[in-house]
Structures are given as C-alpha cells and as structure tokens.
A and B are shown apart, each in its own frame.
Chain A
C-alpha cells in the first residue's frame, strides 16, 4: 500500500520536471554524429567516388542486403557500376561501415526513411551517393594505395619511393 502511494507521488513530481519528449515531427531530436541511420556513399576530398567496389560491405552485411558490381573507369579508378541496398532488410548494424576500407559507406544520423510502399526502400547508387565526405573528412584511399590512377602514378602515393629502374646496376 505504501509503495503504491510512493509511486503515485513520484509520478506526480514529474509534472514539474523538464520535458524529455520531443514534439516530433515539429521538433527534431539532436542525433549524435555516430548515430547509425541512413546509409550514404561518400566522396573523397577530390570529389571522386570513394567506393572502389571491393565488396567487403556486402560480405559483412548479416542480412545480405547490399549488392553491387565493381568496374574500372578509363582513368584507372574502380567504382561500382551499380550499388543497391535493400533498406527493407537492413538492420542498421553498421557492419558495412566498419568493413569499408575506404570510408565510402557511412551510416548517417538520419532515420526518416519510412515509405508506404516497400519497393521504395530499395535504394540504388543514385539514391545513395552524396556530395560530401561524411564523417571522415580528408581520407583519400587512392593516395594511400599502390595502384596507379590518372593523376597519381606509381611512387606518388604516401610513403612511396619512385619506381625502381630495373635496368640499373646500382646497388
């Protein structure tokens, strides 16, 4: 009997507390930067597509809702010719982001993706690719990798020596 009255009293006191409820949708909740929501494909500092089509996100995805096809542009950069995420299956676990070696795929603090028609939850590359570096500004995979692309030849990546002259006899 006493505990009942005590609970009622405590609940009554809440009337005078600051409100925790957001009046969504008029009022938006502030989401932390690492909140795992809408997935986007980001770009590197040069504006190039970050995704190189390595298939690691697709392999990491526990519900297998990512599918893509890697291809190579004339300038030597690899990119996905299509990239599809079936958000009706996605559980927003963030494994894809963790697996991505180029910081291309990122989960962003945005959850407003509801649709009346489930088919609309299938996102293609046009829907995923954004014009931003997302959460990891500054990273440029091709500046680290050894593959030559247009504008970055062999030996021009970070920590690389110029290509060996194999005809040289010098030690």
Chain B
C-alpha cells in the first residue's frame, strides 16, 4: 500500500505501524519504548508524527507513530514543525532528571538516548531545578546498575519479564519515582540478563565485564563472530582493544538469534584474555633454551613424517582446523575428539537430520511453533537461546487467538498481553528433574530417561509410527501420551525438541519417530536436536574414528605420536583412559589456546588462536555453517590451528596439504574433498572481495589512538597487519557503506551509534538482513522413501542392586569448558562433586546426606558427596556434567556403589 510521508509517496507493507514503516524506509524517527522484538506500548511519546486527513488538511493531528497502523493513502509528516517541537519537548522532559554522566557512563558512544537527543535537536538543557536521584543495586557479576539515568521507557521489564520470563526484575514505586530493579540487591536470576545492556536505551543497565576493561564502542576493533558457548551458534560481534577482547555484543541474524544472546554467550569470552593462554610454542624436554617456532615446527615435522602419527580433532575447533589435521595425519588416522556418549549422540542426530524426512528449524522458525514437545532436555541449560525461542512459541497461540478476538495487530503489545493474560500455548515437557520452562508446560512428566523415552515411543506409535508397541504403560501415562499425540496432530507447526541433555539416545530416537510419524500423516513437524558443542555437527560431518579406538592403536604400537587439536582430552574420557594415552604415546603435540591438563602432559605446545584470533567455520545443531572472523592479530606465536597444520605439512612434505596457503584454499580443498560441503563456497565473500576496490574495515571511522597506541615501544608506527584470509582489514580504512551480511563487523549508521542501528541493515524490521542472513544450511531433510523408524523402545528402567546409574545434569554456567574462565560464570557454576540420589536410596544404603561416597568407575575409585534429591527415581543418580575437576567425565555411566 502507499503512504505519503512529507508529501512523498512510499510503498509499505500492510500490518506495520508508522514507526516501523518509517524506519524500514530508512527515515529517522526517534523512539524509546518501542523495540522490534517487544512491540509498541506508546509510553514514551517520543515517536510523535503528524497525520493528516487528506491533502487539504494543513493542521493534522499528533499521533504516536508506534501506535498507529499504516493505512492506504495515509498522509503523515515527520518534519512538521509541530511534531518536531513536540518531540523536542518530550525528550526535554525525559531528560529533566538525567545526570551529567556521559563522561563516566559505559553507555556513552553507543547510547540510544544520546542518539535520540541529537536527532531531536534538544541540544541544551532548559530545566534548571533539582534532579531526583536513586540508590543503585548490586545486580551480580554481569550487569551494572545506575538508576539515575532511567527515562522510564519500561523496556527492561518488558524484556526481562514478558519476553524472557524472568521473575526478579520489577518496577517499584510510583509517579516520577518509578524504579527498575530487584526487590533487594542480588544477582539477576535470568540467563538472559545480559540483554538488558542492549535493550535499555540508556546507561542504567550496562555490561559489567566490559566495565572492568572499559573501552568505547568506537575504539574497538570488531569482527563478525559466532558464539562458542553451545551448539546453537548465535551470531556475535567481538570487540578488541590493546590486544585483549573487550566485549561481545549481539549480531542480529534474522534466522538464528535475532536480537538476543544468553549470558553464557555474552559473558563467556574472558578465556581469550586468560593468563592461562599459551603464548609461545614450546617443546619438552627443553634441551638448550633456544627453541623458536621454526625449530619446533622442524621437530614436529620430523615426528609426523614417520607416518606413525594420529590426530585427534575437536568439536570446539573449526571445520577448517579439523580438516587440515585430518589431511595432515591422513584420513585413516583421524579421530573425533568427543567422548563416547557425545559421539553417539552427535552421529545419531546427524543420521536423523540427514537421512530422515523431518526438517530441523532455525531458531526463529522454532519460535513460531504452536505446539512444543520437549523430550528429555533442560533447554535453559543445554541450548539457552532455544529456551527463549520456546517461550515465544508458547505465547504464539494465545496471542494469535487474542489478535483474532480483539482485532489488534501483533505489535500492540499492551493490548495483546492484556488479552492473553497468563495463557500459554501447549507445551509438554518430559524431563527427569524440574526445568525453568516447566512453568509454561501444560503437562510435565518425570522419571528415569528410559521411562520418558518409552512414553515418547508410545506417542510415536499412537501417531502411526511402524514400531514395536510399547507395553506396560500405566493408564495415566497412556492418557498423557494420547493427549500429546492429539495435540501434535492438530498443530500447524508442531515442534519436537530433544538432544543430548539426558545422556540417553533413546530420547532423540523417540523424538525422531514422532516427527517422522507426523510427517507421514501429512503434517509439518519441526525437529530440533541439541548437541554438546559449537562444532559438534561440523566435526561429525567431517567424520573420523571414535576416540576410544585411538587408545587401541596406541596400545598396539601402530602409532606413537598424537596431535591433539584444541582439546582437553581429560574432558573427553575418564582420567585413567587419557593417562593411558599419554603412557603409550611417545609424543603428544597439542595445538590449543589454554594451558589445561592435557597441555601439562603434552610434549609439544603450539599456541592456537581462539575464535577471536582465528578465522574459521562452525556448523550448528541445525546444520547451518557459519563463519567467524579473526578480530585482532595476537602477540606471540598464536595463529589458527589450521595454519599450524599447514606449516607442519609444508616442513614434512605432506602432499595432501601442498600449496594451501589461506582460508579460501582450505575451504576449496574441503569442498573438493567432500562434495556434500559444496555450499560452503557460497558461505561468505572470498578474501579477494572488494567494494569499490576497498576492504571492509574492522575499525569504526572514529577509532582513536592509531599514532599513540604503540608509541611507547617505538614512535614510528608499524605497518598495519594485513589479512590474507578475508576481505576485512585490520584498520579503519576501507569501504564505509553497508557490507554484505556475513561481513558486518558492527552495526552503525549515521546518527545511530547504538546497536539500534540494526534497523538500517534489515530488509524489514525484525526480518532478514539485506542480502539474506549469513550462514548456509548444509542439512536438508531426505524426503524420498519412507522413514526408517527406530523400532525398539528402550527397556523399562530397573535399578540394579548395589549399583547406581548416573545421568548428566547440564548447567548453563559450568558445563561448558571455556566460559568457565569468566569469573562471573565460575562464581555461579553448580557443584562439581555432588552425586544426587533419591533420599530413599540413601536411607537404604545407610548413607548420611552430605557424606562422601565412593563409587567404582572401571575399577577406579572415585569420591562424591551424596546429596539427596527427591526428583531422582530410585536407582538413578545424577552428577553435574562438564565441571572442571569433576571426577566422573563420561556420562551416563552405571557404577557400583561402595559403602
């Protein structure tokens, strides 16, 4: 439809509000309370425009742009003097109490309030009276609080409570005293609290980890990156200054993470700056003190040349690094560095998604589901942003009902919420222990993972899956299964979620059966499977042998050198197994970035770049390949792992890697070697890409200090580093327009310094980025031929006398290796040494709660603290998974309990 803005006709999409329409057209209209993901409430009065009856109407009336829908032939004016004065006065009022803080405010330079103040032209303060003040609160290690700066837009509580389901942030007091905070000091409970720093248009909520090494947005060197925190691969922008990583911000991706990140992803970056980083190549024993990189590479090449070398890859290393290692040691000598269970789960997930007929959704598609069935996953802890998507999905049905009933648009947030109240769409959750999403669930079912999976199989069978019938269900269970089956059948977009979180692969099988049965019935199911790590899927697609077979090869003496890629083996199997690997291997060459337990024992250390110092590609749980870019050039010998492999290969004369020099070369070799990865060639522009002959600058045009940063070392500035792998430059010189979507280092637009400038990069507000969202899906469902159902449901879980079956419990803080180097995350991590058991089991075994118990793990005694937990079924125990120092590594496991 056509609307006229300041007498110029524009084509706009119906269903939008005027503010969205203006922003979409690239016009500048200030706003505060509206947020693209939260909708409009018309609270701040900042987006006022004049609307005219017809061409002859010269008076018009003031309306709030965010509350007025577009209509055909609507005439409005942004530039009308009346509207302009109104907006100028509104911001004047909003600022009456605003402190004189910009110089010491962490928001400054990326502050929406600053931008809007400049945009409205309210340059001087007219208010001369006293300002009201507030006390601040301590909100924990992630978020700073400075309440004086609040302009009462209510975005924080609308995000925190309405959108993310948080409970402990609220608005207090009344009139001009309204206060946004907790009812008392304390760490914010939501796993999405970090988004407050971006949602709040002022400096009330800011990133506390940034504060500890504060740098303005304009002073950082940025690169498009991908979160390394879990398998979802949320898009981030990573910023560096003076050689250390300073901040992670959201990088909008209309298919993956949208506007938000979880706290593990946002704050879990500090390992990059850790004092545990390996900076220089090193070799043991250290002969004469004159080791340098070349000498060590020579030594490594000698070892590799003899052909008795195996390579252990890593799910936290890029596709390129894993592939380079695979070629270096030879296809037959490449082992996947995952624990046995992770390997089982990942290969099963790949099989289900690649060979089965059900489609796996992107996160934004998942957020549009109308019925959600979660089978054995505590999403908040295993795939946090997917939990946020489920929260949106749960709102979906009541919202669309409400919109039908009261005829309002979806962006009419207050009206829609009023109509919805606390209704939820159908969500069903099966999990052994309570999860944070339970509050949304229509039905919850608890029990041992095998029991839950059995019920899942029963549902699949009710939906017509051709599998062995599940017998012995109680009447209630059968009724629940019927109910869920019926709900899934009637849904337009049913979403079934499962994954690695219970440590039971039958869960994924049951989920696949259900999705496939729905597909057979002509429905349109989505099947989402979580995976353990950022590149689990990519590594599995590359393929290799199981980790435990590496030990056999070493034991038999068929190999004597091991190259370990970005991997702490002690997280992959129980310590005695890894110890044995070290016992049999003459040399262990570790390419990694942190000095971990594996590094302590390795004979050669080659410092690898983290995601911030390397380029590479990772594949998320959806099979979406995404590129992350090097942010800065580190000091010392650090470089991409794949580059180490290339350099070793060159010295050792390995032909498979001959002639490969940079990222594009490896990607070409990769797609030639694995035709299924052909789409990778379209993933992002190649290194030679230029716009008007220019690179894309990593630094904003206001970047400061070029001629002073290194002047203390030498007053003559060094030549800036060159990037041979990508079209980005490490300087502020280059093309200043909008780069192609995979190459956007940071969001900025004239007049829009804050992250809100993302509006200018989207095809439509909340939609895809110009030119399509970055990332390429490698997995599409296999639609020909019927599904190959998993026929057998697992047996009923029966406790074995004297034994306990231990399942893993994952935690958003603690279960992931690298994020634990962030002090704020370590501080909130769960207990690593607790064995959760049913109190009745404890009583029966005469164990006092809180006492140490010894379990027998493969004939190795290991001690844990018995902790009662009445959610555990009899005979089942649980241990927090992935914690540093945890004595039990490969979970689940069945162990003998020694009294």
Contact = CB atoms under 8 A, between A and B. Distances in A.
B188 to A, nearest CB: 18
B219 A58 contact: yes
B127 to A, nearest CB: 9
B135 A154 contact: yes
Nearest to A143: B100
Interface stretch (A6-14, A22-30, A34-42, A119-127): A119-127
Contacts of B99: 145-147, 157
Contacts, number: 136
B832 interface: no
Contact of B101 (A64, A70, A72, A147): A147
A171 interface: yes
Interface stretch (B49-57, B704-712, B759-767): B704-712
A159 B131 contact: yes
A45 interface: no
B102 A54 contact: yes
Nearest to B172: A166
A128 to B, nearest CB: 12
A64 B705 contact: yes
Interface string A118-140: 11011010000000000000000
A59 B101 contact: no
Taking each of B100, B172, B175, which has the highest tally of chain A beta carbons within 10 Å of its own beta carbon? B100
Contact of B704 (A64, A78, A166): A64
Interface string B119-135: 00000000011111111
B644 interface: no
A1 interface: no
Interface in A144-159: 144-148, 154-155, 157, 159
Contacts of B474: none
Given A101-B103, A124-B712, A164 B134 contact: yes
A56 B211 contact: no
Nearest to A147: B104
B712 to A, nearest CB: 6
A141 interface: yes
A31 interface: no
A161 B130 contact: yes
Interface residues of A, number: 50
Contacts of B216: 55, 59
Nearest to B175: A171
B218 interface: yes
A122 B128 CA distance: 43
Given A67-B705, A86-B708, A86-B711, A54 B103 contact: yes
Given A64-B706, A84-B712, A86-B708, A146 B133 contact: yes
A89 B707 contact: yes
A61 interface: yes
A107 interface: no
Taking each of B128, B134, B211, which has the highest tally of chain A beta carbons within 10 Å of its own beta carbon? B134
A144 B125 CA distance: 14
Which applies to chain B's interface (DSSP): helix, strand, loop or mixed?
loop
A84 B104 contact: no
B779 to A, nearest CB: 45
A164 B177 contact: yes
Contact of B129 (A66, A102, A157, A159): A159
B108 to A, nearest CB: 7
Nearest to A124: B712
B93 interface: no
A54 B100 CA distance: 13
B715 A64 contact: no
A147 B177 CA distance: 18
Contacts of B836: none
B148 interface: yes
Interface in A62-93: 63-72, 78, 84-86, 88-89
A70 B819 CA distance: 25
Interface in B175-194: 175, 177, 179
Contacts of B845: none
B242 interface: yes
Contact of B712 (A122, A162, A171): A122
Interface string B11-37: 000000000000000000000000000
B702 interface: yes
Given A59-B216, A147-B101, A64 B707 contact: yes
Contacts of B475: none
Nearest to A54: B103
Contacts of A102: 103
B721 interface: no
Contacts of A64: 703-708
B148 A146 contact: yes
A98 interface: no
B146 interface: yes
A163 B704 contact: no
A119 B706 contact: no
Contact of B705 (A56, A58, A146, A148): A58
B714 interface: yes
The 10 tightest CB contacts between A and B, nearest first, are A146-B99, A67-B705, A58-B704, A67-B708, A54-B103, A64-B706, A166-B173, A86-B711, A146-B148, A101-B103
17 contacts: A53-B214, A65-B705, A66-B705, A66-B708, A69-B242, A78-B104, A84-B709, A85-B708, A86-B708, A88-B711, A101-B102, A145-B104, A147-B104, A155-B133, A164-B134, A166-B172, A167-B173
Interface of B: 99-104, 108-109, 128-136, 146, 148-149, 172-175, 177, 179, 211, 213-216, 218-219, 242, 702-709, 711-712, 714-716
Given A52-B104, A67-B711, 16 more contacts: A54-B103, A54-B108, A55-B704, A63-B707, A64-B706, A64-B708, A69-B215, A86-B711, A101-B103, A119-B714, A122-B711, A159-B130, A160-B131, A161-B133, A168-B173, A171-B175
